[in-house]
Structure 1
């Protein structure tokens, strides 16, 4: 059964350069290749959720410019059930400058949010029926915080399951953490939220414990090729990283979150959905681009079947 996923989040126009390594300050490097295309955490995660089998309503905002026109054309072809795309008269469409480098295809990103930061209360109010009808709300922090808070408040009143991917990091009130059902930072974001340097299992466990004390119910902290920590009320578990030949890790986190939302909305348990999301992200990083790299449900099932011995590892209770 397909679940209904409402994704509120950013659209950015991405400019990606692939390099042998990251440049030093003041240094110019010749890129191996470059590409331009649709991106933004909201649009990427919505695309992933749709390709992973969910019925998706994507809500975003762009500028009244050429990038905004490109965004609409792209999003209308993304396979969403419903698209709500607001347009700013003054702010430009968001854009991101992305470097991809190294053997693990790690990335560095600079974002100009533009219209993403101008979602008004009136525009949020127009989305209330969509939030009420959704099984799950997935959102991030690439829009103005007031709009994000209002979306989460409405979803909570309608008993909609809420995933907050706190990226890119900005401070959020503990009240907001307590309203979401699942918090999904990566290692860097978990460190920014807690002051703990997260680089392995033990530090991830410490960060998750602190986030729980601050109100978060369930937490997944992703650590790239190391895997991810799942910390929930029933205990902790380690989500493995599936084998992959990485070409571009830019969309990996968005792939994970979108696929996770799709499987949760379809009725899977958090642990089942997390394992699926790990396989989905592994397929994603083998392709260039963000939204364009999102795999299908069938491709992800094939990756799961290719590695049947890979399972979530239950962790011993911590003191």
Structure 2
């Protein structure tokens, strides 16, 4: 696989994670069995995943001028990206997230203060035009202010850069915006909110896919956790089987999938093969603690893909 260029515009958050035997009830205090602080945010996580999965990455983000912002700069400078464009503001804090990880399935519950992530200006986005135009893939999410995301997608569309939108965390977007996206990657919850169809299995995902294609979406991958993922291109669907894992922390699973997917597409890998690799990549990721810190290498994911038996859902 050649090293393609992925431009990621997205959030940076400082994550504070507590490992619990279960989630606390309202008004209840529980003792955590471990805790950690580390780099997070969907944008930064996906950028790290794309990098470690084999792409050349230009990350674009925004932080506050505070201690968390200093942490962000150190982390991003040491990550190994080809380039980092990091804007800052004195008016808002660096984004941060409080995360509970609980139970044998390592499910998570997250509260996010987006802070500086929601303050991109149009001028800042215009400064990123050369980086977006030079990329093979633009990967973005919905954890920044929507006017900035809309402008980034317009710039990418004008430049002929392939656009992946991971619609997380969900916020309402127009059908016009969706029609400009080359590949949409919602999970079941986001797909439900986008379509009004309750998505909980392959059959309901297929019904939702028809609705999304009707909104102008060319291709989409609906991720369904242990049920795998539904790939749909122009109404033709196939199941991307999940690769079994023993989960330790599922916080970064979606980000791992999206970053790995972008890296493969940037390297010229066909969409269905890229999705299968991304499934293997996410399988390795969830067996480790911490979102950014858990992103595996290209070789580790390739080994998992070669050795593991996909989990087939009947």
SS at match of 1:73: helix
Matches of 1:134 and 1:312, distance apart in 2: 35
Aligned to 1:24: 25
Per the alignment, residue 124 of structure 1 pairs with 125
CA–CA distance in structure 1, aligned partners of residues 235 and 199 of structure 2: 22
Summarize the alignment of residues 240-251 of structure 1 with structure 2, pairs less than 5 Å apart: 240-251=241-252
Superposed CA deviations along residues 26-80 of structure 1, whole A, max 9, x for unmatched, are: 2111111111110000000000000000000000000000000000000111110
Aligned twin of 1:91: 92
Q: Please give the alpha-carbon distance, in whole angstroms, between the structure 2 residues aligned to 1:40 and 1:310.
A: 29
Contact 1:3 1:265 in 2 (8 A): yes
Does the CA contact (< 8 Å) of 2:231 and 2:238 recur in 1? yes
Q: 1:241 to 1:311 in 2, by over 3 A?
A: closer
- TM-score, L = length of structure 1: 0.96
CA deviations 1:83-131 (Å, max 9, x no partner) are 0000112110000111111211111111110000000011001100001
Classify the secondary structure of the residue corresponding to 1:243: coil
* Contact 1:271/1:312 (<8 A) preserved: no
Matches within 5 A, 1:227-306: 227-233=228-234, 235-306=236-307
1:153 aligns with 2:179: no
Unaligned 5+ runs, structure 2: none
Distance 1:20 1:289 in 2: 17
Residue 199 of structure 1 corresponds to 200
Corresponding residue of 1:139: 140
Is the contact between residue 75 and residue 83 of structure 1 (CA under 8 Å) also seen in structure 2?
A: yes
TM-fit CA distance, 1:6: 0.2
- Superposition deviation, residue 192 in structure 1: 1.1
SS of equivalent residue, structure 1 residue 210 = helix
Shift of 1:18: 1.0
Q: Quick check: 1:167 aligned with 2:173?
A: no
Moved beyond 3 Å, runs of 4+: 309-313
In structure 1, what is the Cα distance between the partners aligned to 2:210 and 2:26? 37
Q: Kindly indicate whether the alpha-carbon contact (under 8 Å) linking 2:244 and 2:310 is maintained by their aligned counterparts in 1.
A: no
Aligned partner of 2:49 in structure 1 is 48
SS at match of 1:61: strand
RMSD: 1.4
| Contact residue 89 and residue 116 of structure 2 kept, 8 A | yes
How big is the shift at 1:234?
Answer: 6.3
Give secondary structure in 2 for the equivalent of 1:36.
strand
Q: Count the aligned residue pairs.
A: 313
Structure 2: distance between partners of 1:17 and 1:195: 33
Q: Which runs of 5+ in 1 are unaligned?
A: none
The alpha carbon displacement at 1:217 in A equals 1.0
Deviation at 1:310?
A: 3.6
Measured after TM superposition, the shift of residue 233 of structure 1 is 1.8
Pair 311,32 (structure 1): closer, same or farther in 2 beyond 3 Å: closer
